[in-house]
């Protein structure tokens, strides 16, 4: 369960803390057998300062607003020292309270801020920000920016590979965002370090992604734009991850909120940067469900979190499908955890890419969106996770036909097909017509009533199968 702790709620008056809702969340998690990931909505949430307490909002002298050349913004500047101290004090108080509650075991890690960055402008032009803008780039920033190449290094080289100078002199066209990344990362490091001193659990920062890939108009609306300020400028987006890593030693990993763009490339970038993959926000529709299976099965994600499950209700679009998906993933949890990473594969197929090839357990298999025999419900997305469990392959998913691949060195056949319950007990042994005379297994979608024709067949299906395969000439 990912749920926020908001600064305005826990410190309504300066130094006056009310942590009753933190206790409520801890107790609920323990009672329900859940783990709670607190999301600290402190100085920034989604590129704005909407969750700071009223006493911070009203005191612009102590907590200066970020500015454009034309106006003040609904955003506290990261370059004012008092906001960092106040934010860190509140965050540390929350984590100390969790530590002393007797229920800290329900908290696996904690998110610091939420999608930090400056939304609405490339760069903060407040007086405090301008002082940093015209100074020399701090020690260590240039070296960090060069790690792995990318946009910052390209811009640095274009400016003559300078080893000192102002932000504009060193980073040229990327200077605005580089300054903002330094400002936010420096603030968050101090907040994280104070909290870590009270409760030693992993800490992470999540990212509102930059729109680096062509998208549909709907995706473009969610993304905000392709330029800094259209998305929160300076946040831990892929091209700024080397800088963030260097500047925030108290942060254990960075996590993408994925709603659009190249899903696999995004997973790879964040897994490589942090040696782990956590996706704290993602789509809640059919594509999001498929992404859950892909992230866990192919990229080793340890957490996938479709956004806004609390707003779902029975009968809503995708309600049954997402409940079913959680059931399948829960059933596969121990199987995945017990397997080597190379023995787990996740796949997603859609109309643009209706076939997925996978090699597992020494056998080549093909997952197809369409059934040549017309016995699979029509649909636009299929998804699954396949695990080599030693001697057979366990597969969970919906909306595809899984068949042995055609090879030039012989044939692959089915020894047995066992449909499993969510508890992994034997539900049915499938054979004959049920597996297309040995040609493959249909991973039916949720039961729709289809199949009751002249030659009826049953589309009710648990979504979990163990396949034993063999080769023959």
According to DSSP, residue 402 is labeled: E
Is the pLDDT at 408 greater than 70, yes or no?
A: no
Q: Give the separation between CA 153 and CA 144, rounded to whole angstroms.
A: 10
- Give the pLDDT band of residue 219 (cuts 50, 70, 90): low
**pLDDT tens, position by position, 22-46:** 999 999 999 999 999 999 999 999 9
pLDDT of residue 52: 98
The predicted model gives 381-392 an average pLDDT of: 97
- pLDDT at residue 146, as a whole number: 86
Percent of residues in the chain assigned helix, strand, coil, to nearest 5: 35, 25, 40
Residue 347: which residues within 8 A CB-CB, separation 6 or more? 293, 294, 297, 298, 356, 358, 367, 383, 384, 385, 386, 397
- Contact assessment for residue 406 and residue 365, using Cβ atoms and an 8 Å cutoff: no
3-class DSSP state of 381 = strand
Tell me the pLDDT tens digit for each residue of 116-166. 999 999 999 999 999 999 999 998 899 998 887 788 999 999 999 999 999
Q: Where are the beta strands (DSSP E) in 90-196?
A: 110-114
Pinpoint the residues of the chain covered by CATH 3.20.20.80. 2-282
Dihedral sign, CA of 103, 107, 110, 114?
negative
- pLDDT tens column, 246-293: 999 999 999 999 998 899 999 999 999 999 999 999 999 999 999 999
Q: What percent of the chain has pLDDT over 90?
A: 81
Mean pLDDT of 192-206: 98
136 DSSP 8-state letter: B
> pLDDT (tens digit, 9 = 90+) per residue, 434-449?
898 888 999 999 876 6
Question: For residue 160, how many other CB atoms are within 10 A of its CB?
Answer: 11
| Better pLDDT: 91 or 213 | 91
Alpha-carbon distances of 42 from 50, 113, 159, 358, 442, rounded to whole Å: 9, 5, 36, 44, 48
Residue with the larger pLDDT of the pair 74 and 16: 16
Q: Is the distance from CB of 203 to CB of 112 less than 8 angstroms? A: yes
Across 438-465, average pLDDT = 83
**Neighbouring residues of 239: CB distance < 8 A, sequence distance ≥ 6:** 150, 151, 152, 210
Q: Check residue 253 and give its pLDDT.
A: 98
Q: What is the pLDDT of residue 150?
A: 85
Is residue 214's pLDDT more than 60? no
Does position 80 have pLDDT exceeding 90, yes or no? Answer: no
**Residue 55 pLDDT more than 70?**
yes
Kindly report, residue by residue over 92-123, the tens digit of the pLDDT: 999 999 999 999 999 999 999 999 999 999 99
Q: What angle do CA 37, 40, 44 make, to 5 degrees?
A: 140
Q: What fold does the segment set 2-282 form as a domain?
A: TIM Barrel (3.20.20)
Question: Measuring CA to CA, how many Å separate 429 from each of 74, 441, 465, 468?
Answer: 61, 12, 9, 12
Question: pLDDT, tens digit, for every residue of 328-370?
Answer: 999 999 999 999 999 999 999 999 999 999 999 999 999 999 8
More confident residue, 224 or 341: 341
How many CA atoms does the CB half-sphere of 337 hold within 13 Å? 8
Mean pLDDT across 167-179: 96
- Name 283's Cβ contacts closer than 8 Å, sequence gap at least 6: 258, 259, 291, 306, 307
pLDDT surpasses 90 at 453: no
Whether residue 215 has pLDDT greater than 60: no
User: Is residue 295 a contact partner of residue 386, using CB atoms and an 8 Å limit?
Assistant: no
More confident residue, 52 or 459: 52
pLDDT band at 206 (very low <50, low <70, confident <90, very high): very high
Bridge-based pairing of strands 2-6 and 37-45 is parallel
Percent of the chain with pLDDT over 70: 96
Q: What pLDDT, on the 0 to 100 scale, is given for residue 373?
A: 79
Q: Average pLDDT of 185-190?
A: 98
Residues carrying CATH 2.60.220.20, the chain: 342-472
Say if residue 50's pLDDT is above 90.
yes
Q: How far apart, in whole angstroms, are the C-alpha atoms of residue 191 and residue 84?
A: 7
CATH number for the domain whose boundaries are 342-472 = 2.60.220.20
Tens-place pLDDT, residues 412-428 = 999 999 999 999 999 99
């Amino acid at each position: 369960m990912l749920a926020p702790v908001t600064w305005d709620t826990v410190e309504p008056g300066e130094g006056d803390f009310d942590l009753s809702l933190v206790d409520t969340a801890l107790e609920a998690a323990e009672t329900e057998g859940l783990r709670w990931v607190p999301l600290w909505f402190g100085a920034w949430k989604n590129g704005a300062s909407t969750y700071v307490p009223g006493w911070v909002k009203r005191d612009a002298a102590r907590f200066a607003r970020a500015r454009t050349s034309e106006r003040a913004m609904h955003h506290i500047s990261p370059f004012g020292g008092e906001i960092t101290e106040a934010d860190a004090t509140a965050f540390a108080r929350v984590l100390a309270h969790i530590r002393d509650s007797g229920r800290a075991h329900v908290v696996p890690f904690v998110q610091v801020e939420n999608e930090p960055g400056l939304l609405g402008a490339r760069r903060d032009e407040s007086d405090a920000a301008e002082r940093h803008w015209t100074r020399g780039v701090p020690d260590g920033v240039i070296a960090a920016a060069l790690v792995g190449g990318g946009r910052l290094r390209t811009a640095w080289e274009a400016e003559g590979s300078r080893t000192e100078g102002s932000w504009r002199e060193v980073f040229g066209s990327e200077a605005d965002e580089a300054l903002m990344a330094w400002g936010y990362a420096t603030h968050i490091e101090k907040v994280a370090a104070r909290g870590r001193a009270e409760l030693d659990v992993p800490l992470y920062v999540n990212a509102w992604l930059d729109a680096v890939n062509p998208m549909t108009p709907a995706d473009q609306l969610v993304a905000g734009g392709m330029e800094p300020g259209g998305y929160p400028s300076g946040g831990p987006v892929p091209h700024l991850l080397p800088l963030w890593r260097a500047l925030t030693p108290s942060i254990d990993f960075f996590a993408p909120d994925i709603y659009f763009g190249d899903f696999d490339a995004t997973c790879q970038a964040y897994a490589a940067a942090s040696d782990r993959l956590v996706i704290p926000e993602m789509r809640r529709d059919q594509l999001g469900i498929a992404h859950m299976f892909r992230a866990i099965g192919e990229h080793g994600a340890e957490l996938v979190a479709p956004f806004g499950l609390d707003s779902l209700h029975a009968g809503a679009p995708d309600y049954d499908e997402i409940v079913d998906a959680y059931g399948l993933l829960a059933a596969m949890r121990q199987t995945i955890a017990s397997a080597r990473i190379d023995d787990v594969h996740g796949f997603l197929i859609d109309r643009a890419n209706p076939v997925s090839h996978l090699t597992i357990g020494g056998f080549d298999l093909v997952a197809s969106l369409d059934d040549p025999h017309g016995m699979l419900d029509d649909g636009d997305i299929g998804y699954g996770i396949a695990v080599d469990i030693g001697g057979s392959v366990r597969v969970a998913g919906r909306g595809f036909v899984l068949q042995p691949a055609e090879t030039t060195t012989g044939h692959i056949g089915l020894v047995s097909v066992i449909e499993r319950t969510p508890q992994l007990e034997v539900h049915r042994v499938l054979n004959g017509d049920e597996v297309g005379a040995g040609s493959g297994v249909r991973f039916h979608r949720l039961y729709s009533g289809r199949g009751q024709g002249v030659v009826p067949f049953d589309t009710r299906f648990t979504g979990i199968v163990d396949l034993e395969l063999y080769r023959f000439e």
